[in-house]
């Protein structure tokens, strides 16, 4: 059986896993697989069963991440990790994260079907809690694995259960005391590579007419999940010059950040601003009151560390200007950050060669999203990403990746593994 035939033969396996993950996460109109909860746990069990059917050795680390290991013939060779996540946002789509785990299993199955055994170990990882919706902090599984959790993270509380992150990890078979020690669960220097397949989160591949792309970089981000603006409650008839209107200050801040975004893009410096929450406190909504309180969230992202630092400095200036102009106090609150993730040049060229061998066009694109790959790249692990074509974006019920397009990514991944790790 040729390698191409072996890859094609795994399409039913990929479809069966994707369908199974959709069924256990069904939450109309979308999919919900809650991190460190029933949905993510069920997804881990489904994937573990599939891995064990391929003869992979299942293990859970102190962060409750799942590893499915195919031992290589050379115990001294650095292993290659293929990973992504299985949690979702609330009522999101089925493919964000999950497609990458399924791709890893399909690539292993293809190598086995082609009679190729690895010289180095190959591990498929299902990393916990990539989505920030659950604790206000994203990429938690890879942060645990690489000792990149920020201070106080283990005390963050789950948006649904109210359990702390430490309690959540323990409930899923992890060891929060080991995480609290602050040392990596895997020494980055002992890892040969980290590879991730992810759905494309903008319609760039639809536009390009290609099923798969070679990812150049993922943006890093700075996040403030709970920004609070404090002004002064007042009667709706109060003249403008007397107002300290927190709601208008929030709108002002949002518009100033959009101006920054447009100016940076016009200058050829790609970035993004996202305000996910923008509201007066629910318990104080009123038609007939000037609100003295307002809340919002902010995700600020860019592709280079120095650019991100410059944007954060601009944010501080914008906050000060808006606060002075509106007569309010703006508290940015808790901050989390993820380093930008530039992909390893050697892996990128290896992927390009693999795509050529598979007969696939594969443009080179930036990903608009931050992923677990960011943490591996920041830790010094050679990192590569493939993007699978997907209509309608992500984090919504309308994610529309075709299984055939996922198999194109599996083909590139499998050809690369055969060249790099095969005996």
According to DSSP, the residues that pair with 222 across neighbouring strands are 300, 337
Query: 234: alpha, beta or left, given left = phi > 0 and alpha = psi -120 to 50?
Result: beta
- Kindly indicate whether the domain formed by 220-338 is annotated with CATH number 3.10.20.30: no
pLDDT tens digits, 354-371: 999 999 999 999 998 889
For the beta carbon of residue 192, count every other beta carbon within 10 angstroms.
17
Average pLDDT, the chain: 96
pLDDT tens digits, 234-243: 999 999 999 9
Distances 284 to 102, 208, 287, 323, 414 between C-alpha atoms, Å? 45, 48, 10, 21, 56
Confidence of residue 385 (pLDDT cuts 50, 70, 90): very high
Rounded CA gap, 329 and 340, in Å? 31
Tokens standing for 17? 């896993």
- Kindly indicate whether the domain formed by 3-218+340-421 is annotated with CATH number 3.30.950.10: no
pLDDT tens digits, 100-128: 999 999 999 999 999 999 999 999 999 99
pLDDT score recorded for residue 413: 98
pLDDT score recorded for residue 70: 98
Confidence of residue 202 (pLDDT cuts 50, 70, 90): confident
Structural domain boundaries in the chain: 3-218+340-421, 220-338
DSSP code at position 203: T
pLDDT tens digits, 327-348: 999 999 999 888 899 999 999 9
pLDDT tens digits, 246-278: 999 999 999 999 999 999 999 999 999 999 999
Let me know how long the chain is: 423
Rounded CA gap, 120 and 99, in Å? 24
Query: pTM of this prediction?
Result: 0.88
pLDDT score recorded for residue 283: 86
């Amino acid at each position: 059986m040729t390698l191409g035939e072996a890859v094609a033969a795994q399409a039913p396996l990929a479809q069966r896993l994707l369908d199974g993950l959709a069924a256990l996460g069904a939450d109309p109109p979308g999919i919900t697989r809650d991190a460190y909860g029933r949905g993510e746990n069920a997804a881990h069990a489904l994937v573990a069963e599939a891995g064990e059917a391929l003869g992979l050795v299942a293990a859970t680390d102190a962060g409750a991440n799942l590893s499915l290991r195919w031992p290589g013939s050379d115990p001294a060779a650095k292993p290659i990790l293929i990973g992504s996540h299985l949690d979702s946002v609330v009522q999101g789509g089925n493919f964000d994260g999950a497609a990458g785990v399924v791709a890893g299993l399909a690539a292993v199955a293809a190598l086995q079907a082609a009679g190729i055994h690895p010289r180095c170990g190959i591990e498929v990882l299902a990393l916990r809690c990539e989505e920030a919706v659950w604790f206000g902090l994203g990429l938690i599984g890879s942060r645990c694995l690489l000792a990149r959790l920020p201070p106080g993270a283990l005390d963050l509380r789950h948006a649904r259960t109210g359990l702390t992150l430490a309690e959540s990890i323990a409930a899923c078979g992890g060891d929060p005391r080991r995480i609290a020690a602050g040392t990596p669960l895997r020494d980055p220097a002992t890892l040969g590579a980290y590879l991730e397949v992810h759905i494309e989160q903008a319609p760039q591949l639809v536009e390009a007419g290609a099923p798969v792309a070679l990812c150049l970089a993922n943006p890093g981000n700075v996040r403030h999940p709970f920004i609070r603006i404090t002004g002064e409650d007042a009667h709706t008839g109060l003249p403008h010059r007397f107002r300290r209107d927190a709601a208008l200050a929030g709108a002002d801040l949002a518009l100033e950040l959009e101006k920054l975004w447009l100016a940076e893009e016009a200058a050829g410096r790609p970035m993004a601003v996202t305000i996910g929450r923008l509201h007066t406190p629910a318990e104080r909504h009123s038609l007939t009151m000037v609100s003295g309180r307002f809340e919002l969230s902010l995700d600020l992202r860019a592709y280079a560390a120095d650019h991100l630092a410059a944007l954060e400095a601009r944010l501080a200036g914008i906050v000060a200007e808006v606060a002075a102009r509106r007569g309010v106090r703006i508290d940015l609150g808790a901050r989390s950050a993820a380093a930008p993730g530039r992909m390893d040049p050697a892996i990128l060229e290896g992927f390009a060669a693999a795509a050529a061998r598979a007969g696939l066009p594969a443009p080179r694109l930036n990903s608009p999203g931050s992923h677990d790959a960011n943490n591996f790249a920041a830790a010094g692990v050679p990192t590569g990403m493939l993007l699978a074509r997907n209509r309608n974006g992500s984090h919504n019920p309308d994610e529309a990746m075709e299984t055939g397009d996922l198999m194109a990514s599996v083909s590139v991944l499998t050809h690369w593994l055969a060249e790099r790790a095969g005996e």
